[in-house]
Amino acid sequence: MNKRVLSLTLLFACLSLVTMRAEGRSVESFNSGWSFKKAPAEKELAVNARKWDSGWSEVEIPHTWNAKDMQVQADNFYEGAAYYKKQYFFPTELKGKRVFLRFEGVGSCAEVFVNGMLATSHKGGYSAFACEISPLLKAGEENEIIVKADNKSRPDVIPINHNLFGVYGGIYRPVWLIVTEPYNISVTDCASPGVYVTQKNVSKKQADVNVKVKLDNGTLQPASVTLQNTIYNQEGKQIATQSRSFELSAQGEQAYESSFTIKNPTLWQGRENPYLYKVVSRLIKDGKVIDEMVQPLGLRKYEIVAGKGFYLNGEKYPMYGVTRHQDWWGLGSALKNENHDFDLATIMDVGATTVRFAHYQQSDYLYSRCDSLGLIIWAEIPFVNRVSGEEAENCRNQLREMIRQSFNHPSIYVWGLHNEVYQPHQYTRELTQSLHDLAKTEDPDRYTVSVNGYGHMEHPVNLVADIQGMNRYFGWYEKKIQDIKPWVENLEKEYPHQKLMLTEYGADANLNHQTEYLGEALNWTKEFYPEAFQTKTHEYQWSVIAAHPYIIASYLWNTFDFCAPLWVRGGVPARNMKGLVTFDRKVKKDSYFWYKANWSKDPVLFLTQRRNWDREKKETSVTVYSNIGTPKVYLNGKELSGIREGYTPVHYIIDHVTLENGKNIVKTVVVKDGKTYEDEIEWMYSGEKKRDSDQSVNKEEHAGF
């Protein structure tokens, strides 16, 4: 067995906070040595898995069985039960210790067996869960761990279908073996860190911090222990500490609190300065640290003012928002940290300041990285699309788990309660109200949000959370691209006191579909999804969003293309192509550079329509994105005149550009601060081509896809 002890911060806290080794407990990777087998149809009982001698394959965790079948053929993938088993030698020297397994994510329902005995079960594919297995282990012997995972849709577990996105089956996030002394900081409090850090009255002068620690005594007798809570700054200097000694009861978990006032703190200021303190909680017995947890502390104050905007530490803060589904082409949801890092680097590069992680709780590592990067994030549960009437308990449980597991991440500003859930309206409204009440009980200091796919404030499931989100796809699912403007202006006039966010908008783009002939709307049920229509949608709609602070924050849909396993859209099975980046993460679409030019401080000079190289019109237009000044544009070496500003100050257009027959070279140049920036594309023209541009559609509602 690998005895290497990992720092606890690898599991629970931001990597940038690591300055000391955790003491008292060991946290060991439990991801290798697993065997996998799909359940035989006639043997669905987990107890039978111990008797199956054939058909097992060796796998490494993270693992999903849907990495291929769910992504390539619509509505034809395996959903159901499968089994994982692993042999674990329990050394005799660990007798008397407490042993736990912590699963970061199993899709979507799980049962864990140790030596044939049920240790725990869990419903929900996106939250972590932990169980103690020490009573079931045999010291000095090989022990068998079996996990049943089942991703079949069921009415009592959210999401209740695979309609908007696929729930990948498997142990798709890491597993950890945790060993502690008999007395510990709670491991099984909804798989949370067992430490809850709250902050009040945050300003540049001072901040009040409270640390609550839940302790567990696994023996039959009370124990004399000391709990020490210490705050360190980012440089590792201790700035405050408190210790408290007491008798730890053997009956039930006990919570103990410490309060601090930090003078003249350095504030967590988003991407500008994501400064992190850390809180170290130590449990001490007989002068020895027997357990320790390290948690991040970013001192910040979030405030939303209706009609005006979002404020961070009293300063108005731009909410340049993107959304992210976690799956990758060829990997599904079985991602490693480098995959999460790649996605975050892309999000940072485009200039986003806030991320909606939709439509479910995502990796704790991802949230931790957002703490250190300064991204302001939205975390939500997968209560989406449809209701069954049987999911209420599971909704509340998944929300409770998400809040407790993610409580200490300073980057999280809001808990998402539902997304486009409607009939029966009264049931949905009452359930959402109960979720709001639960969130405020668990965490009174953060906002809640619910999201509607309709465009009117008076919808019966609205206004039961702190923030009202609305998903609007003008020009795609309904009406025309330009109808976003009268929509928001009417809401501004009629509902000036409501906190509104535009929580999804955009259009699909298949890079193999290119045309110059674009209308003001596109019938999304057709097979032709031109990239230029997506670009046109984002160009106009971002300009409207930027001009209306009534929209507190906006979240374009989506950063990356993702799997939609029940659909065939735009000629591609099982794919939603609304991403700014392709599913394989290899190509950034034109819309990506539109937002980077508008949001990022990095220099951007970009010519659009480079993939539309076979031009349809002899007389065309050239579009340039430049955030470094007015560009010069050349066609076949000759400078073009008549450049004009488009929708925003980074948007430049030259109309009535006449192409030559054959190859045409378009080049743009900007000289700024003595440095020359260039971009160049090639177009071909071989005669006029006409495409049917009748792409209009007028729908009052959409499926939320």
Q: How large is the average pLDDT for residues 279-298?
A: 98
* 520 domain-assigned: yes
Question: 454: closest CA among 704, 265, 624, 248?
Answer: 704
Does one domain contain both 572 and 427?
Answer: yes
- At 8, the pLDDT band (50, 70, 90 cuts) reads very low
Q: Which positions are annotated as active-site residues?
A: 420
Give the whole-angstrom CA distance, residue 679 versus residue 668: 5
Does one domain contain both 265 and 349?
Answer: no
Q: Is the dihedral of CA 407, 412, 416, 419 positive or negative?
A: negative
Helix (H, G, I), strand (E, B), or coil: what is residue 56?
Answer: coil
Does one domain contain both 413 and 458?
Answer: yes
Does one domain contain both 119 and 202?
Answer: no
Each residue of 466-495: pLDDT tens digit? 999 999 999 999 999 999 999 999 999 999
Question: 626: closest CA among 673, 674, 680, 669?
Answer: 669
- At 384, the pLDDT band (50, 70, 90 cuts) reads very high
Q: What is the CATH number of the domain that holds 643?
A: 2.60.40.10
* 186 domain-assigned: no
Inform me whether the pLDDT recorded for 705 exceeds 60.
no
Does one domain contain both 99 and 56?
Answer: yes
* 52 domain-assigned: yes
Does one domain contain both 625 and 570?
Answer: no
Does one domain contain both 276 and 326?
Answer: no
Among 297, 320, 336, the domain boundary falls at 297
* 501 domain-assigned: yes
Q: What is the CATH number of the domain that holds 69?
A: 2.60.120.260
Among 180, 212, 231, the domain boundary falls at 180
Number of domains in the chain: 4
Lowest mean pLDDT among 13-17, 123-127, 359-363, 378-382: 13-17
Q: How large is the average pLDDT for residues 578-582?
A: 98
Owning domain of residue 173: 25-180
**Is 79 exposed, middle or buried (CB count within 10 Å of its CB: 0-12, 13-18, 19+)?**
buried
Helix (H, G, I), strand (E, B), or coil: what is residue 548?
Answer: coil
Question: 213: closest CA among 150, 157, 297, 280?
Answer: 280
Look up tokens 């309660």; give the residue.
Answer: 417
Inform me whether the pLDDT recorded for 694 exceeds 80.
no
* 4 domain-assigned: no
Does one domain contain both 214 and 152?
Answer: no
Q: What is the DSSP letter of 382?
A: -
* 379 domain-assigned: yes
**At CA 476, angle to CA 472 and CA 480, rounded to 5?**
85
Does one domain contain both 232 and 360?
Answer: no
Each residue of 206-261: pLDDT tens digit? 999 999 999 999 999 999 999 999 999 999 999 999 999 999 999 999 999 999 99
Helix (H, G, I), strand (E, B), or coil: what is residue 76?
Answer: coil
Give the whole-angstrom CA distance, residue 24 versus residue 225: 14
Among 567, 600, 633, the domain boundary falls at 600
Write down the pLDDT at residue 287. 96
Write down the pLDDT at residue 118. 97
Phi-psi domain of 92 (left: phi exceeds 0; alpha: psi -120 through 50; beta: other): alpha
Give the whole-angstrom CA distance, residue 636 versus residue 216: 75
Adjacent-strand bridge partners of 197:
211
* 693 domain-assigned: no
Inform me whether the pLDDT recorded for 700 exceeds 90.
no
pTM: 0.94
Question: 348: closest CA among 327, 326, 376?
Answer: 376
Write down the pLDDT at residue 523. 78
| The two three-digit tokens of residue 671, written as one number | 């000289």
Mean pLDDT of the chain: 93
* 185 domain-assigned: no
- Spatial contact of 497 and 491, defined as CB atoms under 8 Å apart: no
Cis peptide before 558 (omega within 30 of 0): yes
Does one domain contain both 283 and 355?
Answer: no
- At 51, the pLDDT band (50, 70, 90 cuts) reads low
Each residue of 543-579: pLDDT tens digit? 999 999 999 999 999 999 999 999 999 999 999 999 9
Does one domain contain both 582 and 652?
Answer: no
Q: What is the CATH number of the domain that holds 325?
A: 3.20.20.80
Does one domain contain both 50 and 131?
Answer: yes
Each residue of 305-361: pLDDT tens digit? 999 999 999 999 999 999 999 999 999 999 999 999 999 999 999 999 999 999 999
Each residue of 131-144: pLDDT tens digit? 999 999 999 999 99
Look up tokens 């378009």; give the residue.
Answer: 666
Each residue of 523-548: pLDDT tens digit? 787 789 999 999 999 999 999 999 99
